[in-house]
Amino acid sequence: MYTILICDDEPDIRSALRIYLTGEGMDVLEAGTGAEALELIAEHTVHLVLMDVMMPGMDGMTATARLREQSNVPVIMITAKSEDGDKILGLTVGADDYITKPFNPLEVMARVRAQLRRYARLGGMTEKSGTLALGGVQMDDDAKRVTLHGEEVALTPTEYDILRLLLENPGKVFSSREIYSRVWKDVPVAAESTVPVHIRHLREKLEIDPANPRLLKVVWGKGYKLEEEKR
């Protein structure tokens, strides 16, 4: 049983989120301002915080920064601004993830679950030899098994090979031609056009919102890379 703190100045949004979260079997605390949120966190055991950025009084950024002084509870920012600068600022002050308004409730649930899994297993993760891991993705090369936040993901052999290539070189950008020649071990002639389709499938399996990937990123006009979003 997890306890989630929803911090938003709009009661309608708070109650909508509460309905979804309680539907998932979670306890919900509600706060209207940043200050209230900090008080509730001090009094209760909270496993995750959903924090709105624009609030009267103390805003979400300040509240998150304060919260981080005493706790490493996962924080997901909810922001109406979709500019990159706001996202980066949010992640910098200590948020673990962000959702832009207007959000899709299913995406919120998925992100909440992902963060909870990660938080619950934090520190309990053991790395076996022949294991590759990055940002919640774990690859057991011996068993040919891939898990995301502990849940197994079913991949095709091609997808698996592509993922392994990217996991072995985190942060490196591979063009579809390179991926083709490294995975198919063949000279790319015209068939490399299939690589983006495979990547797309892979992203659909690993990402909560494939159009806005946080892990398997598209570098437009260059290629693809696997990279954990930097705090």
* Least Cβ distance, residue 206 to other proteins (angstroms): 15
Q: Which of 41, 49 has the CB closer to other proteins?
A: 49
* Least Cβ distance, residue 201 to other proteins (angstroms): 9
Write out the two tokens for 88.
Answer: 């980066």
Q: Which of 80, 122 has the CB closer to other proteins?
A: 80
List residues binding other proteins (CB under 8 A).
Answer: 10, 12-13, 16-17, 19-20, 54, 80-82, 101-106, 175-177, 192-200, 218-223
Q: Which of 17, 73 has the CB closer to other proteins?
A: 17
SS3 call for 99: strand
Looking at the chain, the number of H-run helices and the number of E-run strands are 8, 11
* Least Cβ distance, residue 171 to other proteins (angstroms): 17
How far is the C-alpha of 168 from the C-alpha of 93, rounded, in Å?
A: 29
Q: Which of 136, 223 has the CB closer to other proteins?
A: 223
* Least Cβ distance, residue 93 to other proteins (angstroms): 20
Residue 4's contacts (CB-CB under 8 Å, 6 or more residues apart) are 21, 26, 27, 28, 29, 46, 47, 48, 49, 50, 112
How far is the C-alpha of 91 from the C-alpha of 79, rounded, in Å?
A: 12
